[in-house]
Structure 1
């Protein structure tokens, strides 16, 4: 893999990393690691208001970190793809490893 980033690629990576720089968004993503959820399910599980969860999901969708699909009258959210799943699992493992050391 090439490690020299172009300026646009570096900016895109920085935008994704900034999107991850929120404890609430990390908690949403971690919950979605377990199973797809609606806004209401996420709000209840995390103790956040639905408007707050919706705003976070809007940003996460913009960054292609989550995807939503219609299920009747609601939208069910899930991690966008295996890259997002792997990234999140690696970061969580890194944090847990650092705490064990």
Structure 2
């Protein structure tokens, strides 16, 4: 484990880091966003939706899970603006909320495969 054994502090770097943190009022919300993505099932749902919208039945079948467990995760993703939905008759289709979500997922996958 790395341990800082120095007793001097670079005040310029510390002040700059503090100002960076202060300038990001949405830091906690962003951390929550990544925590939501950190759940394996939710990440799989988002990944299958990279290809386009799907209904609960299609997602459940793809992931070999129950409709109720998928619906629960979809609710969390929708409430946190990761996904959006549209209704066509009795069927509800889910898709990624915007290109930012898609880009974040693709960047994460690319980083892991690098």
Normalising to structure 2: TM-score of the pair? 0.78
Q: Pick the aligned partner of 1:4 from 17, 20, 28.
A: 20
1-side partners of 2:25 and 2:68: how far apart?
A: 32
Greater C-alpha Rg: 2
- Segments of 5+ residues of structure 2 without an aligned counterpart are 1-18
Detail structure 1 runs of 4+ shifted over 6 Å in the superposition.
none
Shift of 1:88: 0.8
Shift of 1:95: 1.1
The CA RMSD measured in Å over matched residues stands at 1.5
1:12-46 CA deviation, whole Å, 9 max, x = no partner? 01110110111111110000001210001000011
Normalising to structure 1: TM-score of the pair? 0.87
Shift of 1:5: 4.0
- Segments of 5+ residues of structure 1 without an aligned counterpart are none
Higher relative contact order (CA 8 A, sep 6+): 1
1-side partners of 2:83 and 2:21: how far apart?
A: 24
